[in-house]
C-alpha cells in the first residue's frame, strides 16, 4: 500500500535541501517538492551579485533534472497551492488534492511593498525572472534609484555602480543595514559606498515613484530612469494562517521546527523559531538557516531524531570587494566594540552575541567556532583569539 509521504511546499534552497536530506537519511516514502516558480530549484544569493554581472542562469541550478529522477523526488514547478486541509492531511492545487504524512512549509518571502505612490513602476529582485529583467535594464547607462539600504539593495548598488551607472540608495532608517549590523559596520559601508560614487539618502523614506525618479519625505527628488525596490521582505505565511496554524512574524514553530500542527514543519525565511541562544522568536533570511533547518526536519522525519535546533547563524554579503561576514545573531539591544580594523563584536545581556568582519575570513571563522562552542565569551577572550 502506498503511503502519502512528505510534501514540501516551496522549492527554494531550503525546500530542496529537505528533499535531499530525507533521501540521505534513508527516507524511502514518496517525496514531493511543489514550487511556484518555473524550472529547477536554483540558488538565490548570486542573483544580486555574480548573476547580474555574468548572466549565467545555468550556473545557478542546485541540482540537475536527473537528480529528481534518480532520487525519486517528484518536482512540481510552476504550481500554486490553494489550501492546506489539515484534518484530511492534504493540500489542494486547483481541483487536485495531494495527501501527506508530513508537510514542510518552505514558502520563503516576497518583497515588502511599503505604501509608496507609484511603486508599481519599481522593479523587484527576488527571483531569477526579476534578476533577468534587471540585467536587461542594466545593458544601457542608467540613472538608478534603489529603495532600501539593506543587503540586497546595497549588493545591487555595488554591481550597478561597477557597471558605470549612476546609483542612488534611499534608506528610511538613519543608517545602512540597520536591522542586520552594528552602527560601526553601517558607517564602514556608508563610507565605502560613498567612495564608489553611490549617492546615499539616509533617514528619508521614499513617498512616491514617478517616471522621473523618486520623491522623498522631505521633498527631495532623486532622478532615476529606473527604480529597484529592495525595502525588505515579508514571509509567505498566508496558507499556514488560513489553515489555522500559529503565525505572527512568519509561521511559528517550536525548537523542533514544528508548527502548532505536529504533522507540519516550517523552515527557512518563512519560519519564526526560538533562537537557541536567547529563546527569543527569530526569523532569519539566510541560506544557512534554511538548509540547517531542512537537515534537522529531515532527520526528525526519517530517523525520529528529537534534538532541538541549535545551529549557529551566519550570514554574508558581498558588496563590491567588501566581503561582510557575520557569525552569530545580535538583537536590537546590543552594545558594540571595535575589536580590530574591520572586526566588530556585539554584546547583549548574555555576553558575546555576534561578530561582524569585513574581508577577514580568519577572524570570522575563529569567531564562528568560538560562538558555536557555546562557551560564554567576553571581549578579552575574543581579542586574544583574533590576535593569536
* Binding-site string for other proteins from residue 334 to residue 363, where x marks contact by CB under 8 A and - marks none: ---------------------------xx-
Least separation, in Å, of the C-beta of 316 and other proteins? 5
Residue closer to other proteins by CB (options 150, 213) is 150
Residue 138, classified by CB atoms within 10 Å of its CB into exposed (0-12), middle (13-18) or buried (19+), is buried
Q: How many CB atoms lie within 10 A of CB 194?
A: 11
Determine, following the binding rule CB under 8 A, whether residue 27 of this chain makes contact with other proteins: no
Phi, psi angles (nearest 5°) of residue 283: -130, 125
Taking the complex as a whole, the smallest distance from the CB of residue 285 to other proteins amounts, in Å, to 15
Asked if residue 325 binds other proteins (CB under 8 A), the reply is: yes
CB 372 within 8 A of CB 328: no
Query: For other proteins, what does the binding mask look like between residues 43 and 62, x meaning CB under 8 A?
Result: x-xx------------x-xx
- Expressed in angstroms, the distance from the first to the final Cα of the chain is 61
Out of 291, 299, 328, 346, name the contact with other proteins by CB under 8 A.
291
Quick one: 71 or 135, whose CB is closer to other proteins?
Answer: 71
Decide if residue 366 touches other proteins (CB under 8 A).
yes
- The DSSP annotation for 83-135 comes to EEETTTTEEEETTEEEE-SEEEE---EEE---S-BTGGGSB--SSHHHHHHHH
Which residues face 90 on adjacent strands? 85, 99
* Residue 151 binding other proteins, by CB under 8 A: no
Question: 66, 95, 306, 373: which one contacts other proteins (CB under 8 A)?
Answer: 66
Angle, helices 13-24/287-303, rounded to nearest 10 degrees: 30
368 binds other proteins (CB under 8 A): yes
CA neighbor of 86 nearest in space, from 108, 105, 110, 107: 105
Smallest separation, CB 365 to other proteins (Å)? 5
* Residue 97 touches other proteins, criterion: CB under 8 A: no
**287 lies in the binding site for other proteins (CB under 8 A):** yes
Among 161, 165, 346, 364, binds other proteins (CB under 8 A): 364
Q: Could you give the CA distance from residue 338 to residue 350 in angstroms, rounded to a whole number?
A: 19
User: Exposed, middle or buried by CB within 10 Å (0-12, 13-18, 19+), for 207?
Assistant: middle
CA count, 13 A, side-chain hemisphere, 355: 31
Which one, 109 or 317, has the nearer CB to other proteins?
Answer: 317
Q: Does 300 engage in binding with other proteins (CB under 8 A)? A: no
CA distance 367 to 360: 11
Q: Does residue 293 interact with other proteins by CB under 8 A?
A: no
- Which region holds residue 73: left if phi is over 0, alpha if psi is between -120 and 50, else beta? beta
Give the Cα separation of 292 and 25 in Å (integer): 14
Strands annotated E in 241-321: 247-248, 250-252, 264-266, 271-274, 281-282, 314-319
Our finding on whether 67 is near other proteins (CB under 8 A) is yes
- Tell me if 318 contacts other proteins by CB under 8 A: yes
Q: Which of 112, 124, 111, 114 is CA-nearest to residue 208?
A: 114
* 265 touches other proteins by CB under 8 A: no
Return the number of the residue (119 or 343) whose C-beta is nearest other proteins. 343
306 binds other proteins (CB under 8 A): no
Interaction between residue 63 and other proteins (CB under 8 A): yes
Report how many residues bind other proteins under the rule CB under 8 A: 27
Q: Is residue 373 involved in binding other proteins (CB under 8 A)?
A: no
Q: Which stretch binds other proteins (CB under 8 A): 63-71, 93-101, 111-119, 274-282?
A: 63-71
CB-wise, 68 or 192, nearer to other proteins?
Answer: 68
| 127 contributes a contact to other proteins by CB under 8 A | no
Choose between 145 and 327: whose C-beta lies nearer to other proteins.
327
Residues that bind other proteins (CB under 8 A): 43, 45-46, 59, 61-64, 66-67, 70, 287-288, 291, 295, 314, 316, 318, 323, 325, 361-362, 364-366, 368-369
Amino acid at each position: 500500500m502506498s503511503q502519502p509521504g512528505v510534501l514540501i511546499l516551496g522549492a527554494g534552497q531550503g525546500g530542496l535541501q529537505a528533499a535531499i536530506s530525507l533521501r540521505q537519511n534513508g527516507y524511502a516514502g514518496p517525496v514531493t517538492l511543489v514550487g511556484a516558480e518555473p524550472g529547477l530549484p536554483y540558488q538565490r544569493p548570486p542573483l544580486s551579485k555574480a548573476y547580474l554581472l555574468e548572466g549565467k542562469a545555468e550556473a545557478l541550478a542546485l541540482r540537475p533534472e536527473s537528480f529528481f529522477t534518480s532520487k525519486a523526488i517528484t518536482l512540481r514547478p510552476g504550481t500554486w497551492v490553494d489550501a492546506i486541509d489539515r484534518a484530511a492531511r492534504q493540500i489542494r492545487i486547483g481541483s487536485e488534492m495531494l495527501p501527506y504524512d508530513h508537510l514542510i512549509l518552505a514558502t520563503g518571502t516576497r518583497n515588502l511593498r511599503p505604501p509608496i505612490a507609484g511603486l508599481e513602476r519599481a522593479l523587484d529582485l527576488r527571483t531569477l525572472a526579476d534578476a533577468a529583467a534587471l540585467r536587461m535594464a542594466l545593458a544601457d547607462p542608467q540613472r538608478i534609484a534603489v529603495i532600501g539600504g539593506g543587503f540586497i539593495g546595497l549588493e545591487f548598488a555595488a554591481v550597478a555602480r561597477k557597471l558605470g551607472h549612476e546609483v542612488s540608495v534611499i534608506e528610511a532608517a538613519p543608517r545602512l543595514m540597520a536591522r542586520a549590523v552594528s552602527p560601526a559596520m553601517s558607517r564602514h559601508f556608508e563610507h565605502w559606498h560613498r567612495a564608489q560614487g553611490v549617492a546615499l539618502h539616509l533617514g528619508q523614506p521614499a513617498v512616491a515613484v514617478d517616471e522621473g525618479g523618486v520623491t522623498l519625505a522631505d521633498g527631495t527628488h532623486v532622478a532615476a530612469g529606473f527604480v529597484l525596490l529592495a525595502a525588505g521582505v515579508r514571509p509567505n505565511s498566508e496558507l499556514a494562517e488560513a489553515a489555522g496554524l500559529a503565525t505572527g512574524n512568519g509561521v511559528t514553530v517550536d525548537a523542533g521546527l514544528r508548527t502548532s500542527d505536529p504533522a507540519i514543519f516550517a523552515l527557512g525565511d518563512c519560519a519564526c523559531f526560538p533562537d537557541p541562544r536567547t529563546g527569543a522568536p527569530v526569523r532569519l533570511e539566510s541560506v544557512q538557516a534554511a538548509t540547517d533547518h531542512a537537515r534537522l526536519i529531515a532527520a526528525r522525519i526519517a530517523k525520529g531524531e528529537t534534538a532541538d535546533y541549535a545551529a549557529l547563524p551566519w550570514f554574508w554579503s558581498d558588496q563590491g570587494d567588501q566581503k561582510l561576514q557575520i557569525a552569530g545573531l545580535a538583537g536590537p539591544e546590543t552594545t558594540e566594540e571595535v575589536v580590530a580594523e574591520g572586526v566588530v563584536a556585539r554584546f547583549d545581556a548574555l555576553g558575546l552575541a555576534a561578530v561582524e568582519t569585513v574581508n577577514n575570513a580568519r577572524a570570522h571563522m575563529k569567531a564562528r567556532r568560538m560562538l558555536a562552542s557555546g562557551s560564554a565569551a567576553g571581549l578579552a577572550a575574543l581579542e586574544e583569539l583574533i590576535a593569536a
